[in-house]
Amino acid sequence: MASAASFASLPLPELYARVRHHVPAMEWPVFARDIEAILTLKRQHNAVILAHNYQTPEIFHTVADIVGDSLALAREAVNTDADVIVLAGVHFMAETAKLLNPDKTVLIPDAEAGCSLAESITAEDVRRLRSRYPGVPVVTYINTSAAVKAESDICCTSGNAKKVIESLGVDRVIMLPDEFLAQNTATQVLGIEIITWAGHCEVHERFTPEDIRAVRESYPDVVVLAHPEAPPEVVAGADYAGSTAGMADFVGEKRPARVALVTECSMSDNVAALYPEVEFVRPCNLCPHMKRITLPKIRRALERRQHEVTIDPAVAERARLAVERMLAVR
Ligand code: 13P
Ligand code: SF4
């Protein structure tokens, strides 16, 4: 197996060893310049970089201090003693970090890094649903704006949706805005009615049962892992469904010879870098929002302290409660 010593002629050889399967050696010096600058800037600003599992390997495996799914990033945001948090992910993740750290500077390297789920619902929509279903608690996926969280009773992620719903002790909930996550969770919380909203993740809604059939036909021994933002008929055809951290843990624990991660493409790249003996086969789709974050933009974010996330304090106070209630569910 290649070690850092094999790349001694390259800058930052230990870091290159981690991403060698994804970054051609010829291109590495350009990446390395930004990485070196980012590492220095982090020390100067007492900054920490939180990166989602969908970030590209040259971010995920080199400059990130903490990596994980949405739940882990929210939990770790509470624990950091850095002065500055750079969120390598999408806007709702940076907002969540800010909600939990009102006194810290939270930066997102590209202010346009959005999410089709967060775009699918407004605070006014939630207020209308509440008046249509009086007394029914609102469980809101973390992939939403702070304004929507502020109208909610409790948040959830794909990693804890079942536990959060069961923690309420009721037989009916409104679960927003991901229709497929709600339908997939409904199969795990029998006896609880879930009222859904028609929001979808533009990355996961494109997978079809035919994709699963095709990958199984080509690779009969393949283990298929799907994200619960995918349609129920896709999840039904998978061997396991869970959050991005759930999928990574599954591969780490079971080490299948061949695996297909039915999710965003960088996820496979990042997990593959850790387990070279596992063969990763596609399908996967790219998230255009996650891909807005690049090393040069992270460098600029630290150099210029941009783009700072701010939230109206009145909204933040109510939204924080919904996130904190979620974090209290174990
Ligand atoms: P998790 O990492 O929480 O599973 O979420 C996936 C996702 O789509 C985040 O945008
Ligand atoms: Fe939103 Fe889907 Fe992209 Fe995640 S993968 S940020 S849910 S659009």
Categorize the per-residue pLDDT at 3 as very low, low, confident or very high, splitting at 50, 70 and 90.
low
Residue 62, marked binder: no
The CB-side HSE value for 171 (13 A sphere, CA atoms) comes to 1
Distance CA 101, CA 83 (A): 10
Size of the chain, expressed as the number of residues it contains: 330
Residue 102 scores a pLDDT above 70: yes
Confidence class for position 5, pLDDT limits 50, 70, 90: confident
User: Do the domains 118-201 and 204-281 sit in the same CATH topology, yes or no?
Assistant: yes
Which ligand 2 atom is at minimum distance from the Cα of 115?
Answer: 1
Going by C-alpha positions, the residue among 47, 37, 67 that lies closest to residue 266 is 67
Q: Is the CB of 270 within 6 Å of ligand 1? A: no
The arithmetic mean of pLDDT across residues 140-159, rounded, is 98
Task: Output the six-digit token pair for 151.
Answer: 């109208």
Query: What's the 198 CA to ligand 2 centre distance in angstroms?
Result: 15
Best mutation site among 229, 261, 286 for ligand 2, i.e. most ligand atoms within 8 A of its Cβ?
A: 229
Using a 6 Å cutoff on CB, does residue 157 contact ligand 1?
yes
265 is in an annotated binding site: no
Question: Distance of CA 110 to CAs 48, 58, 89, 207, 278, Å?
Answer: 17, 17, 9, 27, 33
* Topology adopted by domain 6-113+290-304: Rossmann fold (3.40.50)
Q: Which ligand is nearest to the CA of 247?
A: 1
Domain 118-201 classification at class level: alpha beta
pLDDT band at 76; cut points 50, 70, 90 = very high
User: Ligand 1: which of 50, 67, 69 to mutate, most ligand atoms within 8 Å of CB?
Assistant: 69
Supply the CATH classification number for the domain 204-281. Answer: 3.40.50.10800
From the CB of 144, is ligand 1 less than 6 Å away? Answer: no
Widest pairwise Cα distance in the chain: 66
Task: Identify the nearest ligand to the CA of 246 by its number.
Answer: 1
Q: Provide mean pLDDT across the span 301-323.
A: 98
Average per-residue pLDDT for the chain = 97
pLDDT one-digit tens code per residue, 128-147: 999 999 999 999 999 999 99
Which ligand gives the minimal distance to the CA of 201?
Answer: 2
Terminal CA-to-CA distance of the chain, rounded, Å? 40
| Predicted pLDDT of residue 88 | 98
**Domains in the chain: boundaries:** 6-113+290-304, 118-201, 204-281
d(CA 310, CA 102): 9
Residues whose CB falls within 8 Å of the CB of residue 47, separated by 6 or more in sequence, listed in order: 41, 82, 83, 84, 85, 86, 302
pLDDT given for residue 38 in this prediction: 99
CB 55 less than 6 A from any atom of ligand 1 = no
Q: What pLDDT is attached to residue 6?
A: 83
Strands (E), 11-161: 47-52, 66-68, 84-88, 105-107, 138-141, 154-156
